[in-house]
A and B are shown apart, each in its own frame.
Chain A
Amino acid sequence: AQTVTQSQPEMSVQEAETVTLSCTYDTSESNYYLFWYKQPPSRQMILVIRQEAYKQQNATENRFSVNFQKAAKSFSLKISDSQLGDTAMYFCALGGNKLVFGAGTILRVKS
């Protein structure tokens, strides 16, 4: 069975600072994908970033980047220059055509 664990229920960060959200996972698959989704208070889930497991290079999308450690089964999200609009629930997800989600981390960006 595939599992995803997010050990930080809540995080807070000052505007313009950097924050890292943690995620660990378990799978027996050799080829898989990892995702970070953002869910603002309005509830619409939005894809933030995606990592293919067979790629060693960490994915980046503007202010968002990941630290993918395949051997350790770790997939953390780094948000640089945090903005008030980054306040949301962040979910780590594992899979391909079918996703398994972690429990989420609430991120609050403070001004």
Chain B
Amino acid sequence: EAGVAQSPRYKIIEKRQSVAFWCNPISGHATLYWYQQILGQGPKLLIQFQNNGVVDDSQLPKDRFSAERLKGVDSTLKIQPAKLEDSAVYLCASSGRLAGGPLEQYFGPGTRLTVT
């Protein structure tokens, strides 16, 4: 079974520029998550999708961040304009329900963003 795919793996941009990240979840997983992981910290949830609908975006800085999941499969996360403090690893995860259990999350390799 193929894992969660993300691209690009690395991105360097200047502040005030725009950037987009792409995620392809595990086939059949209805739930998709975007996390921001700042160096030395744990991942922080930015947005959660269930199919193509948003379940939780309470921690998404909506003035500069946007995300979409068209057709309930792939997802893109965009930052416009970027700030220095956006330098982080952006992790995508997807989940499918275990029998009688919670949604176990599977993570992609992440995109390391450096804003200069």
Name A's B-contacting residues (CB within 8 A).
4, 33, 42-47, 50, 52, 91, 93, 95-104
Q: Which of B42, B101, B108 contacts A101 (CB 8 A)?
A: B42
Q: Are A101 and B110 touching (Cβ within 8 A)?
A: no
A98→B45 contact, CB < 8 A: yes
**Extra pairs beyond A45-B107, A96-B102, A96-B103 (18, CB < 8 Å):** A4-B42, A42-B109, A43-B89, A43-B109, A43-B110, A44-B107, A45-B43, A45-B93, A47-B104, A50-B102, A50-B104, A91-B43, A97-B31, A97-B55, A101-B42, A101-B43, A104-B40, A104-B41
Size bracket, chain B contacts: 20 to 34
B56 CB-CB contact with A under 8 Å: yes
Given A44-B107, A44-B109, A99 and B89 contact (CB-CB distance below 8 Å): no
Q: Interface on B for A, CB 8 Å cutoff?
A: 3, 31, 40-45, 48, 55-56, 89, 91, 93, 95, 101-110, 112
